[in-house]
Every structure is written in C-alpha cells, then in structure tokens.
Structure 1
Amino acid sequence: MSNIMLAPMEGVVDHLMRDMLTRVGGFDRCVTEFVRVVEQKLPKKTFYRLCPELLNGGKTPAGVPVRVQLLGQHPQWLAENAVTAVELGSPGIDLNFGCPAKTVNKSKGGAVLLKETDTLHAIVKAVREAVPDHIPVSAKIRLGFEDKTKAVENACAIADAGASEIVVHARTKTEGYRPPAYWDYIARIREHTDIPVIANGEIWSEEDAQRCKVQSDCQDLMIGRGALALPNLARCIRFGEPPMPWSEVADLLIQYSGYEIYGDKGRYYPNRIKQWCGYLRKQYTEAAVLFNDIRRLTDAQAIVDVLARQSSQNHVA
C-alpha cells in the first residue's frame, strides 16, 4: 500500500489545516511550512509557532507525524537548526529545495539552489551528519529551475549526501504549477537512485494518483493542492472511497472557522478561508457559489454567518 504525505503549503496548510485533514484521514505524514534559516540559530518559539505539534510528540491530534521543514542556503546554519528541531521533538527533518516563490529565490533559498548541485550536496551532508542516525532527513526538489537537465544529477547528489528519501515535484520552477506534471521524469530519477522517491504534483483524484504511480514508477505520493480541493483525497487514493459530499465539506468549513478564529486569533481567517474555497471550486460547484458570496467580505463573523447558512441549507436539503 502506498504511503501518502500531506505537502507543505506556505500560508495555507498550517497546523490547523494539518489537524483537520489528518482527522479526515488517509495520511501517513505531514511536513510543516518552511522554517526560514538565514545566518542564525533560531529560537525555540519559531519552531513551536510553525510546528505546535512539537508539543504533542511531533504528531497531529490524530496521531500523524509532522516533520519540520527547513529552507536556507548555509549548510552549517541549517544543520544547527535541524539539531534544534530534533531536540524539540521533530521526528525528521525535511529540506526545501523546491519553493518557487520569487522572494525566497532572490534570497537564495528554495528552487534556485537546483542550479547548484554542490550546494545541495553540502546542505544535505551537513544536516545528515548533525542529527542522530535514526532521524530521517528528506529533501523536496523540483525537476530543475529553468529546465530539467540537472534533475537526475541533483537527485543523485542528494542521495549521495545521505538523504533518507527524496520528494520530487514533477515540474521546474519556471513551470510553476501549470499542468501538466512530468511524472515520467521522476521515473528517470528512480532509475539512478537507491533511496525512496516520492512523487508529487498535479494529483487531484484517485485516477490521477494511479496514473502518477505508473508513469513515475513510485508507490509513495505527496499531495497538497489536491487535498485542499478534495479533503478526503488521501482516503480516495488509499481505500477507493468516493469523493466527500459537499454537505460534509461545508461542515469542515465551519469546523475550520472555529479553529482559525478561536485557535489562531482570526488574523488570517478571511484570506485563508477564501484561499481554501478557491481550491474547493476545482471539485465542487457549490464552492464557486460560496466563494462569490464571501469574496468581498473582510469580517470573520460575517463570513462564518454565510457558511452557517449554507451548511444549514445543505442539511435541510
């Protein structure tokens, strides 16, 4: 059976979303939003803020392990911060070499490092040597920055440096999130590496997952946007469940509202609920109607009132 991981997505898949989606089920592991490492050892509060699961044995309330992800360019500083994350209870360390954001790449983090194979090797080696042997060190990459010519070379360098596994998003930085995903390139990486490879990118349904497995020659998958669009996608892939009906999704939206407003002071709630509705529109026509109803609202309670009305209408129907 496949292992299914929940992908990190900055500003969207925070600890509250991880909690909710892992309660829905089907996931084996989560990865945090990235912890940005520059030239300093970060305080413990930074790790607790992005990964409060560290206070719960490194697991979500549903019991799914959460691995801290680090992003940066300096091997030694990444290594020192990896040690801190492990000491605080992270069950593993993930290294981000895939973020396509311009602000991140300009400061020499994320996908821009795919231009520098030696730097990838140095970072992974430093982190691997810094943390205990039983702690897995994974890396997430794209197929390249502007083209795919270094895809295999980069993956081999990461494996040679001691990584436990590699997650491959099957597009370059330049390709962003535009379809298609080039799953067949992941199979080329599989041919040249002897560590586990996890396929990621453009998996929106159980059918997509099966095609990805065949083309990538990978059994293990990481899903992100697809899980936001279809909250039980992991269970659809794992157990062949039908897609979650909209009435249940509407209940999740209400549940998430309580998380965000009362658990996180509601500062980001209006933007995050709109982002989530944006993804849900891919699978549910009702989400498009909801998005239109809330897109101009900036008050959290006003948005919750709209959600509550729609939820009650669904249950009456």
Structure 2
Amino acid sequence: MRILLAPMEGVVDHLMRDMLTRVGGFDLCVTEFVRVVDQKLPAKTFYRMCPELQNGGKTPSGVPVRVQLLGQHPEWLAENALTAVELGSPGIDLNFGCPAKTVNKSRGGAVLLQYTQQLHDIVKAVREAVPADLPVTAKIRLGYEDKSLAIDNAVAIDEAGASELVVHARTKTEGYRPPAYWEWIKKIRAKTQLPVIANGEIWSHDDALRCQQMSGCDDIMIGRGALAMPNLALHIRNNVAPMSWPELARLLIDYSGYEIYGDKGRYYPNRLKQWCGYLKRQYPEAAELFDNIRRLQHADEIVAVLNRSANASA
C-alpha cells in the first residue's frame, strides 16, 4: 500500500507538507496546483509553489514531491511540465478535479471532465513532453454534474499514456459532501489498465479498509483526514492510536518555528486558525483552542496558549 498526501489549494503548502511527512507514513506528496494559462512560466514560479525542488524534489524528511499543473491548453501544459521536471520534479500530476468556481470559470480543474477529448489531448501532450522514465499522473473526480463520463474520461486518460490515476470518488457538484462513491472507482479499474489510487472521505483506519475493499485499490490518497489527524497515515498503515491532544499541541508549537528554504511560516497565526476547523472533527479541544486564539495575531501569543493547553491536558 502506498499513501499519498493530497494537494489542497491554500492549505497543504510546503510547510504543511514538511510537518506531515515528518510525522510519517506518506510515500508521495503532490503540490498545490501551478496555474498554466498561455505562457511558459519562469522558474521562480515553480520554486515558490514547490521549494522542495531545491532539495532534490523531496521534503526535508525525504518524501518525493510531484508538481501539479492545472490548465486547459495541451501545448502550454506540456511546455511547463518539461520545465518542472528539468527543475527537479519527480514527475508531473495534472489537475482535473479542482471544484473551485473561480478555477472552473476559466476552464481549469473539474470543468474539463465535461470534455473527454480535451483530457486525452492534455495528457498525451504532457506525456510526450516529459521524459519516459518520469511519471505523468492525473487526478479526476467522477464527473462534473453527474457520473455519465466517469469511465470514458478514465479510459481517455489511460489511452493518452498516463502512468496512474487518482480518483476522488465524487462529482464536482457533490463537492465534499459524504458519502464518497468508492464503488465507482472499482468500475473504472475494470475498464482501464491504469494503476488507480482511491481518494475521498478517508478519515480513519477503518475508512481506509472499507475504501480499499469497495474500490479494489491498494493505494490511497488522503487530504482533509490528515489535517484532522496528523498521524492518519501511520494510523492507517500500522493501526497506531490517533495522536493525543498534548502531542498535537506540541506539534502545533513546533510548526510555529519551522524555517524551511528561508521561509519562517509568517502566515502561522491565520493558518493555525484555519487548521482548527479540520482538527475539530477529531479533537474537541480544537474548538476551545480556536476560541482562545481567534483574536491573536502573533505567533508567540498563540504558542503561549498552546503551551497551556498541552500542559493542562497532559
């Protein structure tokens, strides 16, 4: 089994990737998407979105990080894919799953699931541009408004030469509302030769087992679940207990001081407040933490609250 960390726009940046891969259990990370329109992007854009390129395309703990591209023009995606791998990305991932309205309005992400031929053309162009020894992967949802093209889209991506496919088991319209339709992933697997990775609504060890059974996939990708329980990958892989609140509080304190690739995480206060929204699913203490830090603007003030929380719970 491989466990991949999902690309979550505005949440799983290089600091979060570093922290979660230090906790352990992940085999691969995928970056937030690099938006490609109608030009070749400069190297600095890729370094900004994937600072791990300065570390051999790996997080400080050694987990590979694959650059993800989002766009609609095959030729420009191909050219930028080549740039990314020349800079050190261990392969390319293509985003056909982002449900954000602003992205879809400009014909990026999940909106492309309505255009099977365009999916094929994009994957084929990128596959031809990227050296054969490096993977070209894609991430899709089951469809845009419905699932009528789910299998056709997967077959098109397969025939275009993709190395593997991640399937988020919901449509764009279904968003993130449960349930995830893992059984549809099994239908896709039956019609393609691609290795398929299951994604969606995996919050626990038991969820992962049910997902594997219903989808027929060995490999899974987790996103929101890893934010709700930072050791979810280890919990799934080794059935270890969920991280305790005192352990988590100390992890959050460590996160405040991370300095990676010259970035001290200056967005820590706002990012931590955002993170509390995910943590509340697993930790009741996160709601109280949010109430205590919601008006604080400085990292040292938040760390003081976390220290009190960790000590009180220990």
Same fold (TM over 0.5): yes
Deviation at 1:278, TM superposition (A): 1.0
Q: Secondary structure at the match of 1:5?
A: strand
Q: Deviations over 1:121-167 (max 9, x none)?
A: 00000000001000100000000000000000000000100000000
Alignment of structure 1 residues 162-311 onto 2, 5 Å: 162-259=161-258, 264-311=263-310
Deviation at 1:247, TM superposition (A): 1.1
Deviation at 1:244, TM superposition (A): 1.0
Deviation at 1:274, TM superposition (A): 1.1
Is 2:83 the partner of 1:84?
A: yes
> Counterparts of 2:201 and 2:270 in 1: how far apart (Å)?
23
Alignment check: 8 A CA contact 2:99 2:175 kept: yes
Deviation at 1:266, TM superposition (A): 4.5
Question: Number of aligned pairs?
Answer: 314
Alignment of structure 1 residues 61-210 onto 2, 5 Å: 61-210=60-209
In the superposition, relative to structure 1, how do residues 268 and 262 fare at CA in structure 2: closer, same or farther (>3 Å)?
farther
Deviation at 1:260, TM superposition (A): 7.2
> Counterparts of 1:266 and 1:215 in 2: how far apart (Å)?
39
Deviation at 1:294, TM superposition (A): 1.4
Gaps of 5+ in 2: none
Q: Deviations over 1:86-116 (max 9, x none)?
A: 0000001000000000110011100000001
The percent identity for this pair of structures is 75
Alignment check: 8 A CA contact 2:15 2:260 kept: no
Alignment correspondent of 1:51: 50
Alignment check: 8 A CA contact 2:186 2:215 kept: yes
> Counterparts of 1:160 and 1:107 in 2: how far apart (Å)?
26
Q: Deviations over 1:166-210 (max 9, x none)?
A: 000000001111111010111100100101000000000000000
Q: Secondary structure at the match of 2:306?
A: helix
Alignment check: 8 A CA contact 2:246 2:309 kept: no
Alignment check: 8 A CA contact 2:136 2:162 kept: yes
Moved more, 289-298 or 183-192: 289-298
Alignment check: 8 A CA contact 2:258 2:264 kept: no
Q: Secondary structure at the match of 2:143?
A: coil
Alignment check: 8 A CA contact 1:97 1:114 kept: yes
Deviation at 1:14, TM superposition (A): 0.5
> Counterparts of 1:17 and 1:45 in 2: how far apart (Å)?
20
Alignment check: 8 A CA contact 1:190 1:197 kept: yes
Alignment check: 8 A CA contact 1:121 1:161 kept: yes
In the superposition, relative to structure 1, how do residues 213 and 238 fare at CA in structure 2: closer, same or farther (>3 Å)?
same
Alignment check: 8 A CA contact 1:261 1:269 kept: no
Alignment check: 8 A CA contact 1:231 1:244 kept: yes
Letter in 2 for 1:46: T
In the superposition, relative to structure 1, how do residues 271 and 260 fare at CA in structure 2: closer, same or farther (>3 Å)?
farther
Deviation at 1:238, TM superposition (A): 0.8
Deviation at 1:246, TM superposition (A): 1.1
> Counterparts of 1:263 and 1:244 in 2: how far apart (Å)?
29
Deviation at 1:11, TM superposition (A): 1.0
> Counterparts of 1:273 and 1:243 in 2: how far apart (Å)?
20
Deviation at 1:82, TM superposition (A): 0.3
In the superposition, relative to structure 1, how do residues 21 and 266 fare at CA in structure 2: closer, same or farther (>3 Å)?
closer
> Counterparts of 1:300 and 1:119 in 2: how far apart (Å)?
46
Moved more, 237-246 or 304-313: 304-313
Alignment check: 8 A CA contact 2:257 2:264 kept: no
> Counterparts of 1:86 and 1:39 in 2: how far apart (Å)?
19
Deviation at 1:19, TM superposition (A): 0.6
Q: Secondary structure at the match of 2:53?
A: helix
